[in-house]
Amino acid sequence: MSIFKPLCFALLSAAALCLASCGEDEPKATQYNLSAVQPGENFTDPRDNNVYRTVRIGNQLWMAENLRYAPNGYSLDGAYTWDERPVDLTKIVPDNAAVIELIDHLFHDPKYNGWEVDGTPIAPWVEGFLKQLKRGRMTVAEVRENIKYLNPAFDDTLTVRLLKYAELPEARHKAGLANFEKTEKENGGYVAKNGFLYTFAAAQRVAPEGWRLPTDEDWKQLERTLGLPAREVERNEAWRGEGLATLLSVGGKTGFDARRTGGNLYQREAGNFYENKGKAWYFWTATSTMLQDSIPAAYVRLSDHFTTKVWRGTSRVANNYRPVLYSVRCVKDLK
Strands 295-303 and 310-316: antiparallel
| pLDDT bracket for residue 159 (50, 70, 90) | confident
Taking 70 as the threshold, does the pLDDT of residue 35 lie above it? yes
Taking the whole predicted model, whether its pTM rises above 0.85 is answered as no
Per domain, the residue ranges of the chain are 37-82+190-333, 91-170
Q: What is the pLDDT of residue 26?
A: 45
CA distance 232 to 239: 9
Q: What is the pLDDT of residues 244-302, one digit of tens each?
A: 999 999 999 999 999 999 999 998 777 779 999 999 999 999 999 999 989 999 999 99
Give me the DSSP letters along 118-157: TTB--HHHHHHHHHHHHTTSS-HHHHHHHHHHH-HHHHHH
- 6 vs 161, more confident: 161
Which of the residue ranges 20-29, 118-127, 262-271, 325-334 has the most confident prediction, judged by mean pLDDT? 325-334
Question: How large is the average pLDDT for residues 178-182?
Answer: 98
Mean pLDDT of the chain: 89
| pLDDT bracket for residue 22 (50, 70, 90) | very low
CA distance 322 to 332: 30
Question: How large is the average pLDDT for residues 50-59?
Answer: 99
Question: How large is the average pLDDT for residues 57-73?
Answer: 99
Nearest to residue 87, comparing CAs of 166, 176, 174, 171? 176
Is 139:130 a contact under the CB 8 Å cutoff?
no
CA distance 86 to 26: 47
Nearest to residue 201, comparing CAs of 97, 71, 33, 19? 71
CA distance 10 to 45: 69
Q: What is the pLDDT of residues 188-246, one digit of tens each?
A: 999 999 999 999 999 999 999 999 999 999 999 999 999 999 999 999 999 999 999 99
Q: What is the pLDDT of residue 250?
A: 98
Is 106:158 a contact under the CB 8 Å cutoff?
yes
CA distance 93 to 165: 7
Q: What is the pLDDT of residues 127-139, one digit of tens each?
A: 888 889 888 899 8
